[in-house]
Amino acid sequence: MTDVLRWLYDASIPVAGYQLQWLELIGVVFGLASAILGMRRRVWAWPIGIIGNVLLFFVYISATFDAGDRTPLFGQSGRQIFFILTSAYGWWRWRQVRRGSGGDASAPAITPRWATMRERVGLVVVWLVGVAAVQWVFFTIGAGWPAPRWYYWCDAWIFMGSMLATYAMARGWNEFWLAWIAVDLVGVPLLWNAQRVPTAVLYAFYSGFVIYGFLVWVRATRTERGRGDRVEDEAVVG
């Protein structure tokens, strides 16, 4: 088993002059599968996403400490840990809501809705305050790496946005798709700058999928919201 893990960690595919690790590719595929299941509101989106997060953590943490002349990936590696924690919450919440609706495995786990104005303001405030704090932490840790100051602001933006998007998904808010779009607008160029070109291309493709997923959830909000409110409110408090 150890030999297999080591092979996955070391093996790579040459893509346009870049060595794409098998571990990175598999992690991204798991992430895409999780996103597809999330769009369909299936509980399995969470455990599958967690597997992808674990794989990508090892990819990005190795890139950070073996960065050489490349910029470190503190936010990309660190956010995988918080993804796992937030995804565990989302997994629990969607299961609770499903139990409250009768446990029908063929039905979507939740009914999406728009966040209230208070919830939206809370997301924005936490995002902005978090970016200011996290960029300072990343800069302090990575002061010895050859990364420009703006890089840490961008990395912090991705870090906080990813956390809040995952939390909003767990709550069933349509805005989580919009948060992912805001993350990808910064994340794709940053990954390209960090010389992780295939991953940047994959996330650019993912951005198109996010727009489609947003439209799917908005449509579900219009058609399902009335009959889903009472079930979710009774199943989960807070």
pLDDT per residue over 133-178, tens digit each?
999 988 887 655 667 888 889 889 988 998 899 999 999 999 999 9
Token pair listed for 173: 């808010």
| Least confident range of 8-22, 116-130, 138-152, 189-203 | 8-22
What is the total count of domains within the chain? 1
Token pair listed for 27: 């992690």
Beta bridge partners of 15: 18
Predicted TM-score (pTM) of this structure: 0.78
Q: Give the list of residues 6+ apart from residue 12 with CB closer than 8 angstroms, or none.
A: 19, 20, 21, 22
How far CA 112 is from CA of 46, 92, 150, 196, 211, in Å, comes to 16, 16, 36, 34, 15
Q: Provide Rg for the chain, Cα atoms.
A: 18
Token pair listed for 22: 């098998």
Cα–Cα distance, 177 to 181 (Å, whole number): 6
Range(s) of the domain holding residue 43: 2-235
Q: Are 57 and 69 in contact (CB under 8 A)?
A: no
pLDDT tens-digit series, residues 37-64 = 998 899 999 999 999 888 888 777 766 5
Q: Give the list of residues 6+ apart from residue 116 with CB closer than 8 angstroms, or none.
A: none
3-class state of residue 36 by DSSP: helix
3-class state of residue 19 by DSSP: strand
- Selection from 100, 120, 126 nearest residue 237 by Cα: 100
